[in-house]
Amino acid sequence: MSERWLGVQVSGDGVIMVDAEVPKDGPITIVLDDSFKLAKGDRARAFCTMYSRLHDYAKEKAIKRALIKDSAVSKGGMGKAHLSAAELRGVAIAALGSACDVDLVSKASVSRNFGDRKMDEYVKDEAFWKENTDGKMRSGSREAAMLILASR
């Protein structure tokens, strides 16, 4: 029997979310591939709105597990964009953590522990996605879906 899982990738101004039915093996079925943009204006209110959207979605769809792409150290330093993304990631962790199990998954751990290639190589591989997913998904959402595949 499959479970509903979310793969979540956060940037400073929004969240990419892939909702998938995840069987024990075989392809995952993409139920939803969407982006939630952070509202303009008052950042505190925008965080509250994002919290509600993520929490309510996970509750209403009976999501069992959410995999959130973890922060990574930037070779270029910690700029405002990196810090803004970290703030929004915290909102996503809290919102989803109050609705389902949450794991933070780093790109480096996917590269080390899944298959024999780096995550970026899988993300670019069209044949890999045709073999491992059913349903429609934007190519820009593949990192979020990869979190799901690597966490089974």
- Tell me the residue type at 50: M
Mean pLDDT of 86-97: 97
Q: Is 112 exposed, middle or buried (0-12, 13-18, 19+ CB in 10 A)?
A: exposed
Q: With 0.85 as the threshold, say if the pTM is over it.
A: yes
At a CB cut-off of 8 Å and minimum separation 6, what does 42 contact?
Answer: none
The confidence band for 126, taking pLDDT boundaries of 50, 70 and 90, is very high
Q: What angle (nearest 5°) sits at the alpha carbon of residue 78, between those of residues 43 and 148?
A: 75
Q: What angle (nearest 5°) sits at the alpha carbon of residue 28, between those of residues 95 and 68?
A: 25
- 27-36, 69-78, 140-149: the lowest-pLDDT one: 69-78
Rounded to 10°, the helix 43-60/80-97 angle is 40
At a CB cut-off of 8 Å and minimum separation 6, what does 99 contact?
Answer: 54, 55, 58, 59, 63
The confidence score (pLDDT) of residue 98 equals 98
Residue 76 has pLDDT above 80, yes or no: no
Q: What CATH number corresponds to the domain at position 64?
A: 3.30.420.10
| Number of domains observed in the structure of the chain | 1
Share of the chain above pLDDT 90, in %: 89
Supply the range of the domain harboring residue 105: 3-150
Q: How is residue 74 written in tokens?
A: 């930037």
pLDDT in tens, 127-142: 999 999 999 999 999 9
Given a contact cutoff of 8 angstroms between Cβ atoms, the answer to whether 49 and 31 are in contact is no
